[in-house]
């Protein structure tokens, strides 16, 4: 099976299983989405959704958040991990949004990536799930699955993103990003499938007998 055939097969399975793709992070606007995505780094979406109600009760917009201190945020977001760093980033980016962007989250990839604590993946999620622009955010989980399914040989998430964008139509990127996340959690997790168990892995590589070892990004 060629790479494009594997891509078509994977997308067929994903479309059958996940016709709707709700954003897994609870949010009410672009700002709360940005903060939720920032908190999700090295943390589960479930945990983030447990933490953000208290955080957004404290402050749910850049103007109010900019008046808070990292020390006030720390005990709230501590369960998400990396709390000192994330606390400082949230305060600093909120001040920048107020000072430079009239309190609005910029609808621009480069400007988003300039914000403290906001990398390429976080900016891509906000652009796709928040503003609806085509993007294909790739984290370590999508990177792992793309390797298992033979869709990339990329040694890092940026190369995997490039490869996936070449394989799939631009209009499908946003939906596919979420579909792959949902599928990975349900059927092709790090420990639940080793490349020889789930429907997509066995469909793409029916003769694979040994566990597939993905390259770490």
Residues of the chain scoring pLDDT < 70: none
At the topology level of CATH, where does 3-21+136-204 sit?
A: Endonuclease Iii, domain 2 (1.10.1670)
pLDDT (tens digit, 9 = 90+) per residue, 90-131? 999 999 999 999 999 999 999 999 999 999 999 999 999 999
Whether 139 is a known active-site residue: answer yes
Residue 27: per-residue pLDDT: 98
> For residue 215, what is the DSSP state?
P
Q: Which of 45, 78, 99, 139 is catalytic?
A: 139
Cα dihedral 23, 25, 28, 31, rounded to 10, equals -110
The dihedral region occupied by 150, where left means phi > 0, alpha psi between -120 and 50, and beta the remainder, is left
Residue 51: per-residue pLDDT: 98
Token output for 96:
């920048």
Distance CA 189, CA 125 (A): 21
pLDDT (tens digit, 9 = 90+) per residue, 128-142? 999 999 999 999 999
Distance CA 94, CA 103 (A): 8
Residues of the chain with CATH 1.10.340.30: 30-130
Residue 174: per-residue pLDDT: 97
Whether 3 is a known active-site residue: answer no
CA 167 vs CA 59, 183, 215: distances in Å: 41, 18, 20
Domain 30-130 belongs in CATH node 3.40.190.10: no
Q: Which of 64, 78, 86, 121 is catalytic?
A: 121
Residue 216: per-residue pLDDT: 78
Q: Please, which contacts does 133-136 make with residues 24 or more away whose CB atoms are closer than 8 Å?
A: 133/107, 134/170, 134/171, 134/173, 134/174, 135/109, 135/173, 135/174, 135/177, 136/161, 136/164, 136/165, 136/168, 136/173, 136/174, 136/176, 136/177
Residues of the chain with CATH 1.10.1670.10: 3-21+136-204
């Amino acid at each position: 099976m060629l790479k494009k055939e594997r891509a078509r097969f994977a997308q067929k399975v994903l479309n059958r299983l996940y016709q709707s793709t709700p954003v897994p992070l609870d949010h009410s606007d672009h700002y709360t989405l940005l903060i939720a995505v920032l908190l999700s780094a090295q943390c589960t979406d479930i945990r983030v959704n447990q933490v953000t109600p208290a955080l957004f009760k404290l402050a749910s917009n850049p103007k109010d958040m900019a008046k808070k201190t990292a020390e006030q945020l720390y005990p709230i977001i501590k369960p998400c991990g990396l709390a000192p760093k994330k606390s400082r980033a949230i305060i600093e980016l909120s001040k920048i949004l107020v000072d430079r962007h009239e309190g609005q989250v910029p609808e621009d990839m480069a400007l988003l990536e300039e914000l403290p604590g906001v990398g390429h993946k976080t900016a891509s999620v906000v652009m796709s799930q928040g503003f609806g622009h085509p993007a294909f955010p790739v984290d370590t989980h999508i990177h792992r699955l793309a390797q298992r399914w033979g869709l990339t040989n990329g040694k890092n998430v940026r190369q995997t993103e490039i490869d996936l964008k070449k394989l799939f139509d631009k209009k499908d990127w946003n939906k596919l990003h979420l579909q792959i996340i949902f599928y990975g959690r349900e059927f092709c997790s790090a420990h639940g499938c080793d490349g020889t168990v789930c429907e997509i892995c066995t469909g793409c590589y029916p003769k694979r007998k040994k566990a597939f070892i993905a390259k770490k990004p």
